[in-house]
Structure 1
Amino acid sequence: MYNSETTLRAELPSSRKLMRSTILAALSAAVILVTVVQPAEYGIDPTGVGRVLRLTEMGQIKTRLAAEAAVETAGQKPAAEPSIAGITVSNPQPASPTFQTATPEATPVAAAAQPSSWRDEMSFTLKPGEGMEVKMRMKEGEKTVFAWAVEGGMVNYDTHGDSIGRSISYEKGRAVSSDDGDLIAAFTGNHGWYWRNRGEADVQLVLRTRGEYSAIKRVK
Structure 2
Amino acid sequence: MYNSDTPSRAELPSSKQLVRSTLLAAVSAVVLLVAVVLPAEYGVDPTGIGKVLRLTEMGTIKQGLAAEAVADAALKTGSPTEKAAGATVSTAPSPTAVAPAPAAPAQPAAAQVAWRDEMPFTLAPGQGTEIKLKMAEGAKAQYQWVVEGGMVNFDTHGDGPGKSISYEKGRGVASDEGTLEAAFTGNHGWYWRNRGKSPVKVVLRARGDYTDIKRVL
TM norm. shorter chain > 0.5: yes
Distance 2:137 2:77 in 1: 38
Distance 2:112 2:209 in 1: 16
Partner residue of 1:69?
69
Q: Alignment partner of 2:72: what SS?
A: helix
Instruction: Using the TM superposition, give the Cα deviation of residue 197 of structure 1 relative to its aligned residue in structure 2, in angstroms.
Output: 0.6
Give 5+ residue unaligned stretches, structure 2: 1-34, 89-110
CA contact (8 A) 1:71 1:77 kept: no
* Aligned mate of 1:176, from 169, 173, 176: 173
CA contact (8 A) 1:143 1:182 kept: yes
Q: Is 1:126 equivalent to 2:126 in the alignment? A: no
1:100-133 deviation digits (Å, cap 9, x = unpaired)? xxxxxxxxxxxxxx85200000000001111100
Aligned positions, number: 156
CA contact (8 A) 1:45 1:51 kept: no
Letter in 2 for 1:72: D
* Aligned mate of 2:196, from 194, 199, 203: 199
Q: Alignment partner of 2:169: what SS?
A: strand
Instruction: Using the TM superposition, give the Cα deviation of residue 45 of structure 1 relative to its aligned residue in structure 2, in angstroms.
Output: 8.2
Partner residue of 1:17?
none
Partner residue of 1:59?
59
CA contact (8 A) 2:36 2:55 kept: no
Q: Is 1:150 equivalent to 2:147 in the alignment? A: yes
Q: Where is the helix percentage greater, Structure 1 or Structure 2?
A: 1
Q: Is 1:95 equivalent to 2:92 in the alignment? A: no
Distance 1:118 1:149 in 2: 14
Structure 2 CA distance for partners of 1:182 and 1:44, relative to 1, 3 Å: closer
1:30-72 deviation digits (Å, cap 9, x = unpaired)? xxxx969x92xx55889x6433333323433234324423542
Q: Alignment partner of 1:57: what SS?
A: helix
CA-atom RMSD, angstroms?
3.0
Q: TM-score, normalised by structure 1?
A: 0.61
Distance 1:137 1:160 in 2: 12
Distance 1:218 1:184 in 2: 19
Distance 2:194 2:203 in 1: 14
Letter in 1 for 2:72: E
CA contact (8 A) 2:136 2:186 kept: yes
Letter in 1 for 2:86: P
CA contact (8 A) 2:43 2:164 kept: no
Partner residue of 1:111?
none
CA contact (8 A) 2:125 2:198 kept: yes
Query: Which one has the largest radius of gyration?
Result: 2
Distance 2:78 2:86 in 1: 16
Distance 1:214 1:44 in 2: 24
